[in-house]
């Protein structure tokens, strides 16, 4: 035995002998990457429940604002508005009795206050983007999978890993506590544009709630930065013998790129948030120009520019879109290969596409600011860069389709979610081509068309990717498999109602319905679209209720599900050589050596229809350079 092998064996022995035994160190203040991954995941689930409830309140308000309950005998028949059905009215009254600060009592029952509606869409967007969709796929599955897929005992810095979660959790607590301060939560939108976010007396949500929003974001960014450093170091330095970069899975490439994006982009938002705090509390004017009049009083600020915040925010904001999406794209490739029993088509092109998307994400932030009055020449540059992203995106789509072509598809729950990601990536991406052109975006920017676009391409693809990854890697999380019947019911309810919720918003947006409007039917030209909004709301309510199936399946399967063997899907990746669930240190003996890529499926002359990454036989072996 070589000295290296002896060291690995000794490390394995020590790792198992020194596994923490006390509950608080094993499951609460753990340094085990698998436990930390589950902690992130479950916390994101709880935050998703909060954000989902806020979304339901938003949809009910858009479908049946208070004006729809007034006598309408004097109105033109074509402009009549339908009142809410009795169950919705009862639910609104129940919500109003609990959320007394956000609702006012009238003779007809409880009615939502306009300032509370602004808080709802602000906090829904903030929680979903940062505390759910950035957390579950990256911090959750990143922690769970990186050591397993690169062949490491744990993350490079286990203590820092645990600290990152316990930095993230206070951020969650702070953002939720903002609902309970006297003036309520932040209400300047999830983008927190000044001057609403910079002037404490602008709206009720501009008071302590906005300050807590900034503090929560600082906690989140600090946590993400610690995690990103761990991800990059682990992937670069702790890969097992034989695992070159081009033998890594697409999921590992996605995590690697996401960590780099976060490390490079989040400092801009940290700097911007600190400047915002200075404007709010120390009398500076980084974002506040001269001449602002608030409640008849001229503000003393001068010299600042609200556009500075927009540039800082969107320099992070657009890479953030791909921080959400890239893990889902990586999960999808791994799942499609496993359940089509076919090697991923164009592996190096797929990796190149992800690298190109990541790089281009830093030079297109301005397409979020086409309506800010930027130079048309600068707008054209951002538009060209935006359209260029369609090229690597199309590479990924066509390679997925080529992988599926003439394959032996196994329609497990995870595969359904992966196919759902492909569908949403295509349909959401097509509307992005529209919005990437300044001439079109100027007209659609402040409409529900944009809401439809980013809920399909960003939120939907990321969410479906998380659901697919959960079903696929659940055996490595809990040593059990999820219930397939419940999983498929959950998929079909979610898939149908998700499209029912967000696809009609394109039409509503083209019809002119604005975003973030408390009562769109104040405008007569929008009254005819109420029926569509009612349909969208019913779909949204069913979509929300269908997630109960997932929660039941998740928690029941975690404790009572069928016990899983080490490789229940006959997959080829390195993580499937560990027990289910992996013990402390991941492998009971030496860390195995890698001899091939993780996509050797249906290899001719192989004894099975897959060949594990650790198989040293020459069947389907890689070329010396690491390519297949």
The CATH number given to whatever domain includes residue 145 is 1.20.210.10
Please name the residues in contact with 415: beta carbons below 8 A apart, sequence gap of 6 or more.
Answer: 335, 336, 339, 340, 409, 468
**Alpha carbons 399 and 599: distance in angstroms, whole number:** 14
Confidence of residue 80 (pLDDT cuts 50, 70, 90): low
pLDDT of residue 297: 87
| Burial of 301: CB neighbours in 10 Å, binned 0-12, 13-18, 19+ | buried
Mean pLDDT of the chain: 90
Mean of pLDDT values over 232-247? 96
| Per-residue tokens: 272 | 């911007």
Which of helix, strand or coil describes residue 518? coil
pLDDT of residue 617: 85
621, pLDDT greater than 60 = no
137, pLDDT greater than 80 = yes
DSSP string across 102-116: TEEEETTEEEE-HHH
Any domain includes 27: no
70, pLDDT greater than 80 = no
Residues 470-504 have pLDDT tens digits of 999 999 999 999 999 999 999 999 999 999 999 99
Q: Residue 563 has what DSSP assignment?
A: B
pLDDT of residue 79: 58
Confidence of residue 18 (pLDDT cuts 50, 70, 90): low
Confidence of residue 296 (pLDDT cuts 50, 70, 90): confident
Any domain includes 379: yes
Mean of pLDDT values over 592-611? 91
Confidence of residue 20 (pLDDT cuts 50, 70, 90): low
2, pLDDT greater than 50 = no
Q: Is the N-terminal amide bond of 195 cis, ω within 30° of 0? A: yes
Any domain includes 106: no
317, pLDDT greater than 80 = yes
Any domain includes 596: no
**Alpha carbons 460 and 472: distance in angstroms, whole number:** 18
pLDDT of residue 282: 92
Which of helix, strand or coil describes residue 447? strand
430, pLDDT greater than 70 = yes
**Alpha carbons 335 and 552: distance in angstroms, whole number:** 23
Of residues 495 and 85, the one with the higher pLDDT is 495
327 touches 258 (CB < 8 A): yes
**Alpha carbons 174 and 105: distance in angstroms, whole number:** 29
**Alpha carbons 519 and 81: distance in angstroms, whole number:** 12
pLDDT of residue 436: 92
325, pLDDT greater than 50 = yes
| Per-residue tokens: 90 | 């009862």
Residues 371-397 have pLDDT tens digits of 998 888 999 999 999 999 999 999 999
Any domain includes 266: yes
| Per-residue tokens: 91 | 């639910």
158 touches 18 (CB < 8 A): no
User: Which run of H or of E encompasses 63?
Assistant: helix 33-63
228, pLDDT greater than 50 = yes
Q: C-alpha distances in angstroms, 338 versus 32, 151, 495, 567?
A: 27, 20, 22, 11
Look up tokens 């509370």; give the residue. 116
469, pLDDT greater than 90 = yes
Mean of pLDDT values over 270-293? 92
pLDDT of residue 619: 76
Confidence of residue 7 (pLDDT cuts 50, 70, 90): very low
257, pLDDT greater than 50 = yes
Q: What pairs with residue 104 in β-bridges?
A: 111
Confidence of residue 73 (pLDDT cuts 50, 70, 90): very low
Number of domains in the chain: 1
Please name the residues in contact with 430: beta carbons below 8 A apart, sequence gap of 6 or more.
Answer: none
Mean of pLDDT values over 528-543? 96
| % of the chain surpassing 90 pLDDT | 79
**Alpha carbons 453 and 523: distance in angstroms, whole number:** 24
Mean of pLDDT values over 148-175? 96
pLDDT of residue 81: 77
Any domain includes 509: yes
**Alpha carbons 488 and 492: distance in angstroms, whole number:** 6
Q: What pairs with residue 278 in β-bridges?
A: none
421 touches 332 (CB < 8 A): yes
Radius of gyration, CA atoms only, the chain: 25
Mean of pLDDT values over 155-177? 96
Query: What is the b/e burial string over 200-237, where b = at least 16 CB atoms within 10 angstroms of the residue's CB?
Result: eebbbbbbbbbbbbbbbbbbbbbbbbbbbbbbbebbee
For 510, the domain range is: 34-63+113-560
pLDDT of residue 96: 83
447 touches 8 (CB < 8 A): no
Any domain includes 99: no
Beta-carbon neighbour count of residue 515 at 10 Å?
15
For residue 246, give the nearest of 586, 511, 558, 623 by alpha carbon.
623
Any domain includes 105: no
pLDDT of residue 68: 55
| Per-residue tokens: 35 | 């436990």
Mean of pLDDT values over 430-454? 93
**Alpha carbons 274 and 89: distance in angstroms, whole number:** 43
For residue 157, give the nearest of 69, 65, 81, 230 by alpha carbon.
230
**Alpha carbons 163 and 54: distance in angstroms, whole number:** 30
| % of the chain surpassing 70 pLDDT | 93
Confidence of residue 22 (pLDDT cuts 50, 70, 90): confident
């Amino acid at each position: 035995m070589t000295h290296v092998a002896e060291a690995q064996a000794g490390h394995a022995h020590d790792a198992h002998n020194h596994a923490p035994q006390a509950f608080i160190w094993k499951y609460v203040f753990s340094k085990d990457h698998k436990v930390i991954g589950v902690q992130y995941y479950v916390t994101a689930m709880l935050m998703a429940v909060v954000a989902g409830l806020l979304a339901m309140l938003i949809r009910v308000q858009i479908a049946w604002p208070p004006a729809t309950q007034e006598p309408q005998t004097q109105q033109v028949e074509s402009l009549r508005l339908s009142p809410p059905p009795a169950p919705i009215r009862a639910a609104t009254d129940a919500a109003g009795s609990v959320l007394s600060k956000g609702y006012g009592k009238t003779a007809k029952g409880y009615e939502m206050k306009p300032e509370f509606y602004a808080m709802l869409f602000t906090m829904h967007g903030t929680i979903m983007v940062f505390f759910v969709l950035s957390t579950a796929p990256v911090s959750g599955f990143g922690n769970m999978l990186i050591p397993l897929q690169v062949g490491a005992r744990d993350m490079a810095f286990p203590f820092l890993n645990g600290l990152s979660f316990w930095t993230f959790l206070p951020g969650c607590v702070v953002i939720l506590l903002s609902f309970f301060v006297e003036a309520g939560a932040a209400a300047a939108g999830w983008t927190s544009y000044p001057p609403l976010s910079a002037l404490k007396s602008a709206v009720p949500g501009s008071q302590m709630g906005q300050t807590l929003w900034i503090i929560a974001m600082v906690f989140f960014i600090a946590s993400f930065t610690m995690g990103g450093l761990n991800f990059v170091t682990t992937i670069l330095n702790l890969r097992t013998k034989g695992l070159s970069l081009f033998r890594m899975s697409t999921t590992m490439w996605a995590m690697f790129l996401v960590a780099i994006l976060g490390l490079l982009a989040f400092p801009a938002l940290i700097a911007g948030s600190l400047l915002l705090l200075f404007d709010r509390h120390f009398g500076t004017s980084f974002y506040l120009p001269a001449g602002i009049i608030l409640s008849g009083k001229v503000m003393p600020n001068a010299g600042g520019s609200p556009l500075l915040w927009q540039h800082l925010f969107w320099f992070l904001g657009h890479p953030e879109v791909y921080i959400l999406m890239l893990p889902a794209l990586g999960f999808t490739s791994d799942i499609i290969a496993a359940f089509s029993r076919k090697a991923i088509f164009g592996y190096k092109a797929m990796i190149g596409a992800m690298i190109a998307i990541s790089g281009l994400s830093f030079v297109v932030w301005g397409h979020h600011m086409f309506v800010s009055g930027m130079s048309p020449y600068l707008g054209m540059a951002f538009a060209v860069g935006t359209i260029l992203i369609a090229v690597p995106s199309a590479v990924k789509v066509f390679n997925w389709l080529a992988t599926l072509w003439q394959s032996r598809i196994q329609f497990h729950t995870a595969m359904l979610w992966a196919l759902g990601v492909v569908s949403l990536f295509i349909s959401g991406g097509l509307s992005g081509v529209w919005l990437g052109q300044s001439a079109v975006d100027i007209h659609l920017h402040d409409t529900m068309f944009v809401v439809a676009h980013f809920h399909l391409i960003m939120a939907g693809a990321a969410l479906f990717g998380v659901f697919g990854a959960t079903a696929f890697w659940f055996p490595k999380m809990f040593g059990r498999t999820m219930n397939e019947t419940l999983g498929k019911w959950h998929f079909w309810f979610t898939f149908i109602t998700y499209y029912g919720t967000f696809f009609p918003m394109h039409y509503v947006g083209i019809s002119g319905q604005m975003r973030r409007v408390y009562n769109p039917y104040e405008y007569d030209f929008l009254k005819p679209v109420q029926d569509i909004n009612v349909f969208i709301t019913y779909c949204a309510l069913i979509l929300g209720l269908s997630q109960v199936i997932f929660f039941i399946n998740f928690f029941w399967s975690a404790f009572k599900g069928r016990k899983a063997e080490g490789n229940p899907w006959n997959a080829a990746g390195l993580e499937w050589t560990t027990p289910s669930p992996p013990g402390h240190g991941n492998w009971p003996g030496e860390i195995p050596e890698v001899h091939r890529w993780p996509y050797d499926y249906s290899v001719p002359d192989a004894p099975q229809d897959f060949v594990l990454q650790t198989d040293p036989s020459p069947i389907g072996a890689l070329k010396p350079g690491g390519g297949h």
